[in-house]
């Protein structure tokens, strides 16, 4: 979550987060809450859109769970 967005660690972390969300998260009509800087868990999006948000914008600094 804290790794620089342009790093292999960040890419692996995003993939790991998406896998975890898909397996354990509350699904809302095929969407999940997005923890990116702009959405801050306030919008539901597809996993693909969440992936793009997290890679482009990064995780919200207040996101921990």
* Dihedral sign computed on CA atoms, order 40, 9, 24, 19: positive
The pTM (predicted TM-score) of the whole model is: 0.86
Contact (Cβ atoms closer than 8 angstroms) between residue 48 and residue 22: no
Q: Are 39 and 53 in contact (CB under 8 A)?
A: yes
pLDDT in tens, 2-58: 777 788 888 999 999 999 999 988 778 889 999 999 999 999 999 999 999 999 999
Rounded to an integer, what distance in angstroms lies between the CA atom of residue 31 and that of residue 4?
26
């Amino acid at each position: 979550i804290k790794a620089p967005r342009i790093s292999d660690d960040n890419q692996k972390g995003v993939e790991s987060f998406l896998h975890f969300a898909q397996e354990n998260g509350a699904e809302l009509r095929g969407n999940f809450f997005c923890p990116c800087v702009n959405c801050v868990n306030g919008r539901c999006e597809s996993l693909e859109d969440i992936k793009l948000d997290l890679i482009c914008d990064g995780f919200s600094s207040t996101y921990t769970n």
